[in-house]
Amino acid sequence: MPVHNSEIASIFDHVADLLEIRDANRFRVRAYRNAADTVRDQSRSVARMVEEGEDLSELPDIGDDLAGKIADIVRTGHLPLLDEISQDLPEAIVQATRIPGIGPKRARALFEGLELSSLDDLEKAAEAGRIKDLKGFGEKTQAKICAELARGDITERRFRLDEAEDFAEPLIAYIRKIDGVTKAEIAGSYRRRKETVGDLDILAAGGDGGAIIGRFVAYDEVDKVVLQGKTRSTVTLRSGLNVDLRVIPEESWGAALHYFTGSKAHNIAGRKRAQERGLKLNEYGIFEGKTRIAGATEDAVYDKIGLPWIDPVLREDRGEIEAAETGGLPDLVTIDDIRGDLHTHTTASDGRYGLRDMAEAAMARGYEYLAITDHSKSQTQAGGLSADELGAQIDEIAELNDGFDGFRLLASCEVDILEDGALDFPDDLLGRLDLVVAAAHARFDLSETAQTDRIIRAMDNPAVSVIAHPTGRLLGQRRAYPLDMKRLIEAAVERGCVLELNANPNRLDLGDRQCRMAAGQGVKIAISTDAHSTGALGHIRYGVDQARRGWLERGDVVNTLGLRGLSEALRRT
Domain extent listing, the chain: 5-86, 91-151, 159-248, 253-325, 335-570
CATH 3.20.20.140 fits 335-570, yes or no: yes
The β-bridge relationship of strands 498-502 and 525-528 is: parallel
Say how far apart CA 559 and CA 281 lie, in whole Å: 41
pLDDT digit string, tens, across residues 317-341 = 999 999 999 999 999 999 999 999 9
Residue 558 confidence (pLDDT): 98
DSSP symbols for 464-529:
EEEE-STT--BTTTBPPPP--HHHHHHHHHHHT-EEEEE--TTT-BS-HHHHHHHHHTT--EEEE-
CATH number for region 253-325: 3.30.210.10
Residue 157 confidence (pLDDT): 78
pTM above 0.75, yes or no: yes
DSSP symbols for 361-383:
HHHHTT-SEEEE--BBTT-GGGT
Positive or negative, the Cα torsion across 485, 489, 495, 500?
positive
Say how far apart CA 509 and CA 546 lie, in whole Å: 9
How far apart, in Å, are the Cα atoms of 53 and each of 47, 48, 68, 78, 379? 10, 9, 12, 20, 38
Residue 152 confidence (pLDDT): 66
Could you tell me the strand order of the sheet in which 340-344 lies? 340-344, 369-372, 408-411
Closest CA to 262 of 301, 314, 303: 314
Contacts of 73 (CB under 8 A, 6+ apart): 3, 7, 8, 11, 79
CATH 1.10.150.110 fits 5-86, yes or no: yes
What's at 174, amino acid-wise? Y
Residue 237 confidence (pLDDT): 95
Fold of 91-151: DNA polymerase; domain 1 (1.10.150)
The reply to whether 5-86 and 91-151 are identical in fold is yes
pLDDT under 50: residue ranges of the chain: none
CATH 3.30.460.10 fits 159-248, yes or no: yes
Residue 503's CB: how many other CB atoms inside 10 A? 29
Say how far apart CA 378 and CA 534 lie, in whole Å: 25
